[in-house]
Amino acid sequence: MDPMFLPYTPVNGVPQESKLATYMKRSNDVSSTLLSKNLSSLSINDSITSSLKKVVSGTNEFVPRSSPSVAAVYSSTSPLTVNSVQTNPSPTPTVPTYQEYVGGTTYFYSAPSTVAVATGSGGVENSVSTAASSSGSGVPVSVAGCSGTLLDEDARLAGGGIVSSSVGSDVVNSGVVGAPGTLTGVTMYPGTPAHVKAALVHLSPSSSTAVTSSPHRSSPGALSSSSTGNSSSTVAATPANDPSLSYYIANQLRLEVQHKNNLTLAQPDPESCPDLPLEVDNYHELVPLEVAPSLPKQHSIPYTTSTYKATHIKTGLRYCLRRVHGFRLPNSKCMILVDMWKKLSHSNIVQLREVFTTKSFGDQSIVFVYDYHPDSETLLSRHFSTADTINGYTDSFSSNPNAPRPYSHSKNSLLRQQHSNGMLSETTIWSYVIQLTGALAVVHAAGLACRSLDPSKVLHTGRLRLRISSPAVQDVVLFDCSVSNPLTLIPHYQQEDLTALGKLVLALACRSLIAVQRDNLQTSLDLMSRTYSSDLRNLVIYLLSNKQVRSVVELMPMIGARYYSQLDTVQYHNDILHSELAKEMENGRLCRLMVKLATINERPEFNMDPAWSETGDRYMLKLFRDHVFHQVTEDGRPYLDMAHVVHSLNKLDAGTNEKVCLMSRDEQSVLVVTYAELKHCLQQSFAELVASAGMSKIH
Ligand SMILES: Nc1ncnc2c1ncn2[C@@H]1O[C@H](COP(=O)(O)OP(=O)(O)OP(=O)(O)O)[C@@H](O)[C@H]1O
């Protein structure tokens, strides 16, 4: 049986079942001197008035607003003026009370008898206005630990005020929600604001009943009243501000990220790749990133290569491993270049992490480890048709590149491929040019050369983002041992890079790999001029000319003002991502808060104390949890309002001085507490758990 519903046994005037008794026991420890000192300095009116001003003036917040209740009811009398005895001379007073937790002390105040029972749908405002008009009624009748503290069956029957009451089988409004004009510093959940209700009624008449219901604390009484049998949840939708739009990452971006996460987390399938080793050096969980080609591929290096996603054993991070089969490192001179590549970092280059040789694959292989970019695609597969995927930089016309061929054949093939692949926009091509020249500029400035700037070695990693992949492979695999200094050939390779870039741009403009074959160059340039600007043509001509020493820096003036539009696009996208990130950062913060609440609330046992989560500070947190998550409508259906949840958790996280009324599940007691105190309770309780778990800190 839930201890909440134990038979009534007054302890210091507080019903046992309210659990506030346990809370008060802690407060009893406070010395009487300290108590009287606290009491003399206590001025509820002041604090409430100030919080009232704050709330009324500053906010047109959605939920929850400060409710009237406590201060409105008890505003006109000194908190120390005990006159409840006048209203109820019984030794066990019959007026309802509320309690307030101030600086570690719980104060109990009587509700005015004139407030009486606020029943039905009108009860909310009735109770408030009545309470506000009853001067001299809101007085503390006792202090925690003092005898004569009130809250009993009679008081419950008397109802009203803050204390939610249940008379017979009637569901009685708790009278906690008030007219905005009578707001105090105490927060009670007021339900959906009037303007939203009106909007909802206007937009969807069928939902009006749902949103007009006042939310109530979950309570047995309330639940029993849902005899209509309608158990559906009520969702307080806010059409003007759809929560899914306002609280969470945009859908398209979410799908993108989710897809990338799925790929990142993909696990190896031992059946499809039985030969893959379980571990290679510091990496495991190898997943091939390319299907085995049916025909042997033409490579720019005379070795077979394979690409895998792998997980680092120690860090759990994912990497891309490029394995060159059957390669034996002739000497370690080329490692100078590897070290230079490892130090080079650019947003358009796939970062090289390390290079090692291994026999784990059953042969002598060399493995290049790169950053893993999920869902990336080579430009070859993205922009060139499958029929065209033989390496276009060799001759696809015949096995003999020197064999003569008719001009019309080449041109027709080009036109056919351009037509079937479709044209890329000039903006896209310039975007590619800007990114690739940016990468080349950094590589060349570092004294290196890419040596692999062809469509199969440029990755498209989403949203027009390019990265040059597989750096350093050629430097190692094609290393000429006869050269004493590996850096001497770099200027030559840099010139080759520029030629490769020219070919790539031309191929993209013609959407054909055969466009870059020597015999087709003129035709391709003509075709290109038909659609694209002369600037782009001049850029290609400059890159393909070999009469001069070219430099990537000289491409800048050709790109010109297009840099600005590229920069604008990138920054605009960055702004969007930032705002999405801000949303998710807030969600992460709330998630951490909820994790803390969940680890504390209803914890079955802690340090051999089964009641740990049910008493003291933790009890307040439990009531707060109910206040945030377990609101119900008048007829007992769940009342779901994301805004209320978010708002309440934010206040908890901020530890505001605003007060909130927390009601026990049996609706017999109400605890008035500030968010600051709740936050303190949360921190204390969680710190106890962390310490007990033997951990230093959890964020
Ligand atoms: N760093 C990386 N992160 C994620 N995926 C990658 C990475 N590098 C390559 N890939 C993916 O792995 C697959 C194979 O890449 P690879 O470079 O081997 O292309 P390829 O066309 O097969 O080249 P090659 O002709 O050299 O075999 C491609 O789909 C590519 O998108």
pLDDT digit string, tens, across residues 554-578 = 999 999 999 999 999 999 999 999 9
Q: Which 3 state secondary structure label does DSSP give 189?
A: coil
Instruction: Give the model's confidence band at 183: pLDDT under 50 very low, under 70 low, under 90 confident, else very high.
Output: very low
Handedness of CA 504, 506, 512, 513 (dihedral sign): negative
- Mean pLDDT (the chain) is 71
What's the alpha-carbon Rg for the chain, to the nearest Å? 37
Instruction: For a ligand 1 pocket test, name from 264, 286, 289, 450 the mutation site with the most ligand atoms within 8 angstroms of its C-beta.
Output: 289
Nearest-CA residue for atom 15 of ligand 1:
307
User: What's the average model confidence in pLDDT over 22-26?
Assistant: 48
Q: Which residues line ligand 1 (CB under 6 A)?
A: 289-290, 297, 299, 305, 307, 320, 350, 370-373, 376-378, 380, 456, 459, 469-470
Phi, psi of 446 (to 5 degrees): -85, 0
d(CA 650, CA 662): 17
Domain 275-385+417-478+486-550 - what CATH class?
Answer: mainly alpha
Which tens digits make up the pLDDT trace of 375-422? 999 999 999 865 544 444 544 444 444 445 555 666 666 666 666 667
Q: What is the DSSP string of 386-423?
A: GGG-S-TTS--S-S-TTS---HHHHHHHHHHHHHHH-P
Higher-scoring residue by pLDDT: 493, 63 = 493
- Given 3.10.180.10, 1.10.287.3700, 1.10.540.10, 1.10.4160.10, which CATH number is that of 582-693? 1.10.287.3700
pLDDT at 194 over 70: no
Query: In this predicted model, which residue has the larger pLDDT, 114 or 693?
Result: 693
Least confident of 355-359, 467-471, 692-696: 692-696
pLDDT the model gives residue 419:
65
Tell me the average pLDDT across 105-132: 38
Atom of ligand 1 nearest to the CA of 391: 25
User: Which amino acid, 231?
Assistant: S
- 428 contacts: CB under 8 Å, gap ≥ 6: 464
| Across 59-63, 212-216, 405-409, 519-523, least confident range | 59-63
42 contact partners, CB below 8 Å, separation of at least 6: 79, 80, 102, 107
Residue identifier of the C-alpha nearest atom 2 of ligand 1: 372
If one compares 325 and 44, the residue with the highest pLDDT of the two is 325
Tell me what the mean pLDDT of segment 140-149 comes to: 30
Beta bridge partners of 378: 459
What is the model's pLDDT at position 245? Answer: 56
3 state SS of 602: coil
d(CA 289, ligand 1 centre) in Å: 7
ipTM of the complex: 0.97
pLDDT at position 78 over 50: no
Give me the pLDDT at residue 324, please.
95
Ligand 1 center from residue 374 Cα (angstroms): 11
Cα–ligand 1 centroid distance for 456 (angstroms): 7
3-state secondary structure of 305: strand
- Once rounded to an integer, what is the mean pLDDT over residues 303-308? 93
Q: What is the rounded end-to-end Cα distance, in angstroms, of the chain?
A: 36
Domain ranges of the chain: 275-385+417-478+486-550, 582-693
d(CA 650, CA 594): 11
125 annotated as a binding-site residue = no
Q: Which amino acid is at 596?
A: K
Q: How confident is the model at residue 83 (pLDDT cuts 50, 70, 90)?
A: very low
Model confidence at 289, in pLDDT bands (50, 70, 90)? Answer: very high
Other C-beta atoms closer than 10 Å to the C-beta of 533 total 14
Angle of helix 642-654 relative to helix 562-600, nearest 10 degrees, comes to 80
SS3 content of the chain, % helix, strand, coil (to 5): 45, 15, 40
Name the more confident of 141 and 455. 455
- Counting ligand 1 atoms within 8 A of each CB, the residue from 290, 383, 388 with the most, and so the one to mutate, is 290
